[in-house]
Chain A
Amino acid sequence: MTAYSAAPGPLLDVGTFLGRSLRHSVRSIDAMIVAVVLPVLILLVFVYVFGGAMSTGASGTDYLTFVVPGVIVLCAAHGSAQTAVGVNQDMTTGVVDRVRSLPVLGSAVLVGHVLASVARNLVSTAVVVGVALLLGFRPAASPLDWLVVAGLLALLMAGVSALSAAFGLLVASPEAAGASSFVLLFLPYVSSGFVPPETMPAVLRGFAEHQPVTPLIDAVRGLLLDAPVGTSPLLAVAWWGGLGLLGVLACGALFRRRAGA
């Protein structure tokens, strides 16, 4: 007779949808370019095109070392568009309707998208760090520092992905969902990621110093250079924990509304 799996249903469902989303990523030329090629290009552009003209302030850090965390965050923002588009397509093409007619947890399809998004971002991060090492990036972080860096970045990626999924649920079409990365792309530029905020005009500086990306970048940069990080890791956890929670709650509410449950 037909054999049924003994594993808990929701876990099984999330695993199934994660597998599906990962297959989608690997088979999409767009997704692979954004995950692998774009990070390399962004890093090269910042280091070799802009890098020569950049001064990183009193710290004297060379620009390659300075810019790596900013590039990682920027790549995560670029990757978020795919999450929003994927979620939106599932809503508009009837995939979610079919899923909801099955005895499974409907929101597992969202969790699959978010986890696959985090996985794509981790690949991008590995690519950025790998290429940066080839270019002469020499982090001074201890294994424990690396672990904290990985944790902070994973938290950021989960937050960005959850917010993107919520945006995918909010808008009507995949095209509109694709535009969602705009806001997220803006944040790393006006942060401490590419230039020290002290060099910005007062208004921008106020924004740059009090937005979610800056403490995360400061924390990651400090940990990689084995420099004092102050309260920035705690601030980063508070920001991205909060934003991630907001994303999850928004996903839940929007999914219920959109799917008409």
Chain B
Amino acid sequence: MAYTVEVEGLRKSFGTKSVLDGIDLHVARGSVAALLGPNGAGKTTTVKILSTLLRPDAGRVRVAGRDVRTDPVAVRRAISLTGQHATVDEVLTGRENLVMMGRLRHLTKAAARERATALLERFDLVEAADRRVSNYSGGMARRLDIALGLVDEPEVLFLDEPTTGLDPRSRRDVWDSVAELAASGVTVLLTTQYLEEADRLADRVAVLAGGRIAAEGTADELKSLVGGETVQLVLPDAAALDSAMTVADLRGYAVRADAGALSVHVPTDGTAAGVRELLETMAGVPVVRVAVHRPTLDDVFLTLTGTNPGTVPA
């Protein structure tokens, strides 16, 4: 397997504070990988090292076949970084931003203009092309930001939290753009706090917690770690809890009671038919409330590290 990103034993500390404590990460050529983790887990630090902005303390880090430490200029030629905060120039128009990036990639003026026009079309920004970016919506600015990363057709694209702070609609637009990129064959490494985003976009997901990769696999594999989607049944008293457990057991459901609470979780496929069937089997049980529960990053974290994302030591 040809890897475009190869990281082995990567360590990085700031002063006495260890941020990355031996990371191993491999991204296959042409695939989309997600680095999933809460704030402070070290996602941005990892991306900054991969994009030559920070030097690793220890470990082997190769991007597009070059070592980031000994050959940073060659790495920079092969990559494109879209940072956490949209780094588009708000005073310039979308087109001017793209042309400027083309010029910084040393395209001729004509080539830079041509490329700008093509990218504006591809990212659905033609109408806004000659407006200043300060008038763009968050989603438009983010799409432009991603387009800026593609001016010189990089081998690897790093996207640091591409949808953080966007409204749901803009988030979907950005997802569509990233999915299209993936289809075009560029290798993408993105970071995110959202399991749903990793699920939707990435071929493989690495969970970063406490400066280490806590788990790595496909989104489905990760979700199976936390047990998948469940229906939560809230019950009025201990007797009802017992009868719910008994009924579910009898029907072959892998039921699980919430510790210290009057509720149970029953696995589900999430379809209306599946939920209806479950509720029908529970017809004799006085269920107070029903909720469908999808695994979240919190659950993955809880399962993998035994701590809440908010309290994971950075």
Q: Which A residues touch B96, using CB under 8 A? A: 23
Given contacts A3-B110, A4-B111, A103-B73, whether A94 and B87 have CB atoms under 8 Å apart is: yes
Instruction: Indicate if B106 sits at the interface (CB-CB under 8 A).
Output: yes
Chain A residues whose CB sits within 8 angstroms of the CB of B199 once the complex forms: none
Taking the nearest CB of chain A, how far is it from the CB of B5, in angstroms? 15
Interface stretch of the complex, out of A12-20, A135-143, A159-167, A199-207: A12-20
Q: In residues 143-193 of chain B, which contact A (Cβ within 8 Å)?
A: 152-153
| Residues in A52-99 with C-beta less than 8 Å from chain B | 93-95, 97-99
Tell whether A97 pairs with B53 under 8 Å between CB atoms, given A28-B91, A103-B76. yes
| Residues of B110-155 whose CB lies within 8 A of A | 110-111, 115, 132, 152-153
Given contacts A5-B106, A103-B73, contact A24 B53 (CB under 8 A): no
What does DSSP make chain A's interface, helix, strand, loop or mixed?
helix
Residue of B nearest to A26 (CB): B91
- Does the CB pair B76–A102 fall under 8 Å? yes
Given contacts A28-B91, A97-B83, A101-B51, contact A16 B107 (CB under 8 A): no
Do residues A93 and B76 form an inter-chain contact, with CB atoms below 8 A?
A: no
A19 to B83 alpha-carbon distance, docked (Å): 23
Does chain A have a CB within 8 A of B108? yes
In the complex, the answer to whether B104 meets A93 with C-beta atoms within 8 Å is no
* CA gap between A207 and B80 in the complex, in Å: 52
Whether the Cβ atoms of B81 and A23 lie closer than 8 Å is no
* Set of chain A residues within 8 Å of B91, measured between Cβ atoms: 23-24, 27-28
B52: chain A residues at CB < 8 Å are 100-101
B105 on the A face (CB < 8 A): yes
B58 within 8 Å of A by Cβ?
no
Contact B51 A2 (CB under 8 A): no
**Residue B79 at the chain A interface, CB threshold 8 Å:** yes
A99 nearest CB neighbor, chain B only: B104
Interface size in chain A (residues, C-beta < 8 A) = 28
Contact in complex: B103, A98 (CB < 8 Å): no
Do B54 and A95 touch (CB < 8 A)?
no
Q: Name the A residues within 8 Å of B115 (CB-CB).
A: 2
- The answer to the question of A150 belonging to the interface, with a C-beta cut-off of 8 Å to chain B, is no
Partner of A5, one of B76, B80, B89, B108: B108
Query: Most chain-B CB neighbours within 10 Å: which of A24, A28, A94, A103?
Result: A103
Please indicate the chain A residues that have their CB under 8 angstroms from the CB of B84 in the complex. Answer: 94
Q: Which residues of chain A come closer than 8 Å to B152, judged between CB atoms?
A: 2
Would you call A101 and B104 a contact (CB within 8 A)? Answer: no
Give chain A nearest CB distance to B4 CB in angstroms.
Answer: 16
- What's the least CB distance linking B89 to chain A, in Å? 7
User: In the docked arrangement, what's the CA distance between A99 and B51, Å?
Assistant: 11
Q: Is B85 within 8 A of A260, CB to CB? A: no
Residues of chain A contacted by B110 (CB below 8 angstroms): 3
Question: By the criterion CB–CB under 8 Å, are B105 and A102 in contact?
Answer: yes
Decide yes or no whether A242 CB sits under 8 A from chain B: no
Q: Note all chain B residues with C-beta closer than 8 A to A16.
A: 100, 103-104
Inter-chain CA distance A101–B96, complex, in Å, is 20
Residue of A3, A23, A102, A104 with most partner-chain B CB within 10 A = A102
Within the complex, the shortest CB–CB distance from A47 to chain B, in Å, comes to 35
A93–B88 CA distance with the chains assembled, in angstroms: 10
Q: Which residues of A contact B200 (CB under 8 A)?
A: none
Cα of A167 to Cα of B197 in the assembled complex, Å: 41
Q: Give A5 Cβ to nearest chain B Cβ, in Å.
A: 5
Q: Is the CB of B111 within 8 A of A104?
A: no
Let me know if A9 is at the binding interface, CB within 8 A: yes
Contact A3–B80 (Cβ < 8 Å)? no
B92 contacts the other chain (CB 8 A): yes
- The CB with the most chain A CB atoms within 10 A, among B105, B106, B111, is that of B106
Distance to closest chain B CB from A2 (angstroms): 5
**A151 vs B91: C-alpha distance when bound (angstroms):** 32
A260 & B54 in contact (Cβ 8 Å cutoff): yes
Contact, CB under 8 Å: A97 / B81: yes
Residue among A5, A24, A97, A100 making CB contact with B107, cutoff 8 Å:
A5
Most chain A CB within a 10 A radius of its CB, from B103, B109, B111: B103
A3-B108 in contact given A27-B91, A103-B73 (Cβ < 8 Å): yes
B53 touches A3 (CB 8 A): no
Q: Return chain A residues, CB-CB under 8 Å to B132.
A: 27
Q: A20-B100, A101-B53 are in contact. Are A4 and B107 (CB under 8 A)?
A: yes
A interface residue numbers (CB < 8 A to B): 2-5, 9, 12-13, 15-16, 19-20, 23-24, 27-28, 93-95, 97-104, 259-260
> Can you sample 21 A-B contacts with CB below 8 Å?
A3-B107, A3-B111, A4-B107, A4-B108, A5-B103, A13-B104, A15-B103, A20-B92, A23-B91, A94-B83, A94-B85, A95-B89, A97-B87, A99-B104, A100-B52, A101-B51, A101-B76, A101-B81, A103-B73, A260-B53, A260-B54
What residues of chain B have their CB less than 8 Å away from a CB belonging to chain A?
Answer: 48, 51-54, 73, 76-77, 79-85, 87, 89, 91-92, 96, 100, 103-111, 115, 132, 152-153
A-B pairs, top 6 by smallest CB distance, nearest first, are A101-B81, A103-B76, A3-B111, A94-B87, A16-B103, A98-B87
